[in-house]
Amino acid sequence: MARLVIESGADVGMVFPIINLTVSIGRSVSNSIQIIDRKVSRHHAEIFFKDSAYYFRDLDSKNGSLINGKPFTSEMPLVSGTQLTLGDTILVFESGPEDIDRFSETTSRMIRIVDDSGWGQPRSSVAAGKQMPLELELPKDQLPKDSDKRLTILYQVADAIRNILNLDDLLEQIMSILYEVTQPDRGFILLKDESGKELIPKAVKSKSRDVDEIRISSTIVRQCLHDRVSILVSDAASDQRFAASESIIINSIRSAICAPLVYKEEIYGVIYIDTQTGVATYGNEELELVNGIANQSAMAIANAKLHARLVEQHKMAKEMEIARTIQMNLLPKVYPTLEGIDISAMSMPAKKVGGDYYDFLPMPAGSRYGIAIADVSGKGVPAAILLATIRASLQIEAQQKDAVVTNVVSRLNKMAFRDASNNMFITMVYGILDPVKRTFEYTNAGHVYPLLFDATGKIAQLKKGGFFLGIMENSEYESETINLESGQTFVLYSDGVTDTMNKSGELFGIERLKKVIRAHLHCTAQEIRDAIHEACLEFRKEADQFDDFTVIIMKIQ
């Protein structure tokens, strides 16, 4: 099966099997292969199969791609060994197994036979389990005793495990291979837990079915991990130096091999096998073989763990996309149509699910509208949940008979104080727009001050109000009523507008915002909104969006 191997970059050494007719490559988690590289576009390139061959195509990426170090402009066929450069990441396309030289190199390094003297008492025990054997095309009458057979086995090991991406299935296959080629009485694969401090038995097999508890030498395992070497203990039971070793006595261990699972300098665990019966003991050939299997297995385990993380990321991304869809559907679909008042708005979350919110709420009597903009401290799902609660409460409160702005915000504050988790709070501006009386009454609960431009460009800030929502249960709020006049422009925004940051760490700031608005006071509300957004995009250029971006424009005609 064809595959891509990362030769340089953040995930150097990782192997990605090409299992679909089209495989997408890019920085986004939605790709078949995600490349963690800032110079790689979100959807950078793809590999596809046609006319019995694989082809590579760049998807108009910003920084382009190289094939064997040279740029290209159209799709190119791939042959085994083709080098692909995307940003700072180099990948190699392979259509077959690794060459013999690489196997012989990895199977003979970091191996030594240790002196048995001085090993202490065992401390570890694991419960026995069952595994099914894997049938390999190997001689059944003897263990492999020469390098050619060893290389043949390692090819078969690579072919058998490199495309298994489920960790449990992978460990079962590794254990079956070990039993087939080394014929131990006991075998264990122990992997580090998430803390990296403890070894957990993940695959266990024993020929003895009468033992409730299986003990292994913690000393051998500790030395294997500490020195990062494969260890061979030969004829342990007959060596008087093991007289004090409880695990050797209880389990009648004649010979044991312990090999570390090391990949890219990270230790994933160990493989341990031993013999207890018969006259056979392990020697250097078996040590070399198990070490080679361990090296191949470590890479496969790293791939399986990476695949599990990617699957979880894709699952989370899908869930976040659903949450984003729900949240975006909570925003108004249309703007109020009011005589003499032009309204436009937009909200763009920095993450898939943001912490900003705006709304237009028709009041129960007349043509009045509640106007709201809010920002929750924090981002992501917790912020979105709290915002959804605020929205639902606001829509209820806005329909009450005593729905003056201060009463509404006071009740929202009590609700937020009760429901918000530690260190979470909400800033909000809530006002009532009355096109008949030509007034806008508002209160500001700790939000960035909205801007009010008159026809001449003179600016006022809407500061009247009180404290954040959710911090103090009995906060009091003041309101201010503004008479609407022709030529006025109200700009309500979140701090994600002024906090837009470029690569140099410079903020867009309030003065740039004022300048953009002044230059477009003659324009429609939508044109002013778009001008602000485009100015912020131009300012930050390639820098990531730092915060949610929300703005409401109300232009009085």
Separation of alpha carbons 552 and 330, rounded Å: 16
Residue where the block lists tokens 């939605």? 30
φ, ψ dihedrals at 119, nearest 5°:
-75, 140
The pLDDT averaged over each successive group of 10 residues in the chain (557 residues) is 79 74 83 83 89 86 89 83 89 61 33 36 30 36 53 72 82 88 87 82 76 64 84 60 42 77 89 74 82 87 84 72 69 88 89 77 85 82 76 86 87 85 84 94 96 94 93 92 95 93 91 95 94 92 84 95
Distances (CA, A) of 443 to 31, 431, 498, 528: 46, 6, 21, 24
Tokens of 467: 């404290």
Separation of alpha carbons 182 and 165, rounded Å: 24
The distance of Cα 359 from the centroid of its chain, to the nearest Å, equals 32
Please enumerate in sequence order all residues whose Cβ is within 8 A of that of 265, keeping only pairs 6 or more positions apart, or say none: none
CB 459 within 8 A of CB 453: yes
The distance of Cα 475 from the centroid of its chain, to the nearest Å, equals 40
What pLDDT score was predicted for residue 148?
60
Residue where the block lists tokens 């576009």? 41
CATH 3.60.40.10 positions along the chain are 331-556
φ, ψ dihedrals at 348, nearest 5°:
-130, 110
φ, ψ dihedrals at 337, nearest 5°:
-100, 100
CB-CB neighbours of 305 under 10 Å: 17
- Span 331-556: which CATH code? 3.60.40.10
- Span 109-129+149-308: which CATH code? 3.30.450.40
CATH 2.60.200.20 positions along the chain are 3-102
CB 527 within 8 A of CB 553: no
From the options 3.30.1280.10, 3.40.50.11140, 2.60.200.20, 3.90.226.10, give the CATH code of 3-102. 2.60.200.20
Three-state DSSP class for 295? helix
What pLDDT score was predicted for residue 460?
96
CATH 3.30.450.40 positions along the chain are 109-129+149-308
Tokens of 337: 């149509």
The alpha helices in 200-245, defined as continuous H runs, are 218-227
CB 158 within 8 A of CB 98: yes
Separation of alpha carbons 81 and 38, rounded Å: 25
**Distance, first Cα to last Cα, the chain:** 67
φ, ψ dihedrals at 291, nearest 5°:
-60, -40
Q: Based on C-alpha coordinates, what's the Rg of the chain?
A: 33
DSSP state of 402: T
What pLDDT score was predicted for residue 348?
83
Separation of alpha carbons 447 and 443, rounded Å: 10
The alpha helices in 164-263, defined as continuous H runs, are 167-182, 218-227, 246-251
What pLDDT score was predicted for residue 278?
55
Cα angle: 126, vertex 129, 135; to 5 degrees:
130
